[in-house]
Structures are given as structure tokens and as C-alpha cells.
Amino acid sequence: MKLSIMQLLNCYLLATRNEIAIDESLSKGISKKIPPLPRTSKWAGEKWSSLSLTFIYIILMILFIFGGFVIYVVFFFIKILFMQGEVFNF
């Protein structure tokens, strides 16, 4: 069975709408328990507590807001700490 490009695109869009509808229905049921995370169905199926999910959410939002700068600074200081040990033979 051959499908044209338009038929494939239509099937893809229908599948995407279906996935979005599933995620929306799941997020309505558990929205008070966990923070607004992407792929709610994956997070809901895991054995995470709501406190740990909130902590992960806050850390991810901070990293998202400040971008690579936070990651760069953290790795820069880690690199300096390791280099001090090599230079001064600690």
C-alpha cells in the first residue's frame, strides 16, 4: 500500500494530535501532584515523589533561564579545582 506525501503528512498530524490529547488528559488528572513537565505520561509512570519532581523542575528551569552560562561556570570551577591539585600536588 503506497501513500502519497499528503496522506503521510495527514497521518502524522493525526498521530501528533492524538499524543497531545493523551498528554493533556493525563496532565489534567495529575496537575496538582506534579509541576508542569513535558511528557507528563512518562513522569507520571515513574516512581518519583512530587517533592523530588518539584526539585528537578526548579533545577531545570534555573538552567533553562540562565542557559549555558551556569553550566560553563560550574565546569570552569571544577576544572580549576582539578588543575590546582595537579599544579600544587595536593
Q: If pLDDT is split at 50, 70 and 90, which confidence band does 9 have?
A: very high
Q: What is the pLDDT of residue 34?
A: 63
- The answer to whether 43 and 26 have CB atoms below 8 angstroms apart is no
What is the SS3 assignment for 37-88?
A: CCCHHHHHHCCCCHHHHHHHHHHHHHHHHHCHHHHHHHHHHHHHHHHHHHHH
Q: What is the pLDDT of residue 82?
A: 82
Asked whether residue 11 carries a pLDDT value surpassing 90, the answer given is yes
41/2: higher pLDDT? 2
User: Rounded CA gap, 22 and 39, in Å?
Assistant: 10
